[in-house]
Structure 1
Amino acid sequence: MIAGGKLLKKAVALLLLNFNRFKSINDIIGNGIGNELLRHVVHRLPEIASPLPHG
Structure 2
Amino acid sequence: FYSVGENDEVTCFFCGVQIHKWEPHDEPWTEHAKWCPHCSYVRRHKGDAFVQDV
Say whether the fold is shared (TM-score over 0.5).
no
Query: Which has a greater percent of helix?
Result: 1
Q: Relative to total residues, which structure has the larger strand share, 1 or 2? A: 2
Which gives a bigger RCO, structure 1 or 2 (Cα 8 Å, sep 6+)? Answer: 2
Quickly name the TM-score band, shorter chain normalised: under 0.3
Taking structure 2 as the reference length, the TM-score comes to: 0.27
TM-score by length of 1: 0.27
